[in-house]
């Protein structure tokens, strides 16, 4: 793999730390919003507005999946941060960091809320090359975590999952509901 310029390791480290903090903040914010939305869904069910509840549940499912994906990306950032000495000392991509690097490069476009990922992606591209970055973004090597792909997919959730969420929300708020 050929690098396209020299990476700034201090910038990479700083942005990995910043990304971890931003991800934690966004996870907390999205989780709080989802909790409030569940109450709203229970009210829709209580008032017989089941279709409206289904639509809201789809957005909650999407947010829940995004939070789970953010937790995975946070873990990858943390892993790269802990292996920064290894990243600095080798020119080749070590097997131990290939998956975290590939997943971060792939997730950057999907998690545009986390601006620091763009800087991280740019620095990793300088280290490992544009060709490698492009291959990761299109999952050419098949190294992107399948769970991460699914969590950040734009596909709507299955009807079964929507129904399970509706049942769970109704049960949590003691609202009668039968699918």
pLDDT digits 0-9 by tens, 38-96? 999 999 999 999 999 999 999 999 999 999 999 999 999 999 999 999 999 998 898 88
Is residue 70 a contact partner of residue 111, using CB atoms and an 8 Å limit?
yes
Query: Which pLDDT score is estimated for 4?
Result: 55
Query: Which pLDDT score is estimated for 2?
Result: 47
CA–CA dist 164, 159 (Å, integer): 9
Of 32, 7, 16, give the one whose Cα is nearest residue 83.
16
CA–CA dist 21, 52 (Å, integer): 34
CA–CA dist 35, 31 (Å, integer): 6
Tokens 């310029």 belong to 5
Domains of the chain with bracketed CATH: 9-172 (1.20.1260.60)
Tell whether pTM > 0.85: yes
Q: What is the DSSP string of 34-63?
A: HHHHHHHHHHHHHTT-HHHHHHHHHHHHHH
């Amino acid at each position: 793999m050929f690098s396209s310029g020299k990476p700034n390791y201090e910038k990479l480290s700083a942005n990995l730390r910043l990304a971890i903090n931003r991800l934690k903040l966004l996870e907390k914010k999205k989780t709080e919003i989802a909790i409030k939305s569940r109450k709203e869904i229970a009210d829709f069910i209580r008032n017989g507005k089941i279709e409206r509840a289904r639509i809201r549940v789809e957005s909650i499912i999407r947010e829940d999946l995004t939070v789970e994906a953010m937790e995975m990306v946070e873990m990858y950032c943390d892993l790269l941060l802990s292996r920064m000495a290894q990243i600095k000392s080798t020119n080749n991509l070590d097997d131990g960091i290939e998956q975290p690097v590939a997943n971060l490069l792939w997730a950057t476009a999907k998690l545009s809320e986390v601006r620091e990922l763009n800087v991280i992606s740019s620095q990793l591209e300088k280290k490992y090359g544009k060709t490698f970055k492009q291959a990761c973004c299109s999952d050419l090597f098949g190294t992107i975590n399948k769970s991460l792909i699914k969590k950040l997919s734009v596909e709507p959730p299955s009807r079964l999952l929507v129904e399970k969420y509706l049942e769970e929300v109704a049960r949590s708020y003691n609202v009668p509901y039968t699918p």
